[in-house]
Amino acid sequence: MMMRKGKLFMLPYAGGSASVYLSWKKHLPAEVELIPMELPGRGKRYKEPLIDSVQNMIPVLLEDITSHELSTSYAIFGHSMGNLLALELARELAKQDHPLPAALFLSGRNPPHVKSNFLRHVLSEQELVQEILKLGGTPPELMENREWLELFLPIIRSDYKLVETYQFKWDAPLDCPFMIFNGKQDLLIDAGQIEEWSRFTSREYSAAWFEGDHFYIHDQAEEICRQMVRHLGAPTSPLH
């Protein structure tokens, strides 16, 4: 499906707020409306309780996305945890006979049936801080700020629990194209497994690799947007 004009919904990574995507608007043509999807417990939804399971998160996201007009073209981008949520949200949209996205852009995560046995959500506070620092993406000076840590650690622990307790179930392939994005130096990705993503779509499948680690998206936002625009067939100008 060509998306000459439409919406691009953005789902964040573990511990992140949808606001990280606001700066991406300048890389997109005016015809593509960028819509960050905020999760409960952060950003403008900080007063809402955190949700630590996919089963309970998807109905919230479904209510959010279906509050928008989906009869016109739209696409979904998700990085890391957001990748998982994007996939399961699209599956739920299909089950409820909503229009499917023109494309799913899935970033920074192995295929959903590839299970990791490392459980970060059960780590002690000190171990969790060290793990976050090792993964990168969070300024080390923030991790030394006690007040900030008390706000951040419950969010990321809840998000890790959501991802690590996820029970994958095989279902029919989705009738929408998949484009898989990853960082070449991402140690959380098994490059040999990435082609397995093609099993989850009955439409076109492609993969793109970018310079960078798990948080390559911060340095490669412009090129990621360029790839998405090209894939969707949207015009490349004028930009915001």
Q: CB-hemisphere CA count at 13 Å for 53?
A: 4
Whose CA is closest to 91, among 82, 100, 83? 100
Q: Is 80 a catalytic residue?
A: yes
Q: What tokens does 60 get? A: 């919230």
β-bridge partners, 180: 106, 207
Provide the pairing of β-strand 74-79 with 103-107.
Answer: parallel
Contact 6, 33 (CB under 8 A): yes
**Token digits of residue 129:** 């801080």
Q: Among residues 73, 80, 107, 158, which one is catalytic?
A: 80
Residues 6+ apart with CB under 8 A from 100: 90, 93, 94, 174, 175, 176
User: Alpha-carbon distance 50 to 66, whole Å?
Assistant: 21
- Write the DSSP assignment of 202-228 as a string of letters: SS-EEEEEESSSTTGGGTSHHHHHHHH
Query: Mind telling me the catalytic residues?
Result: 80
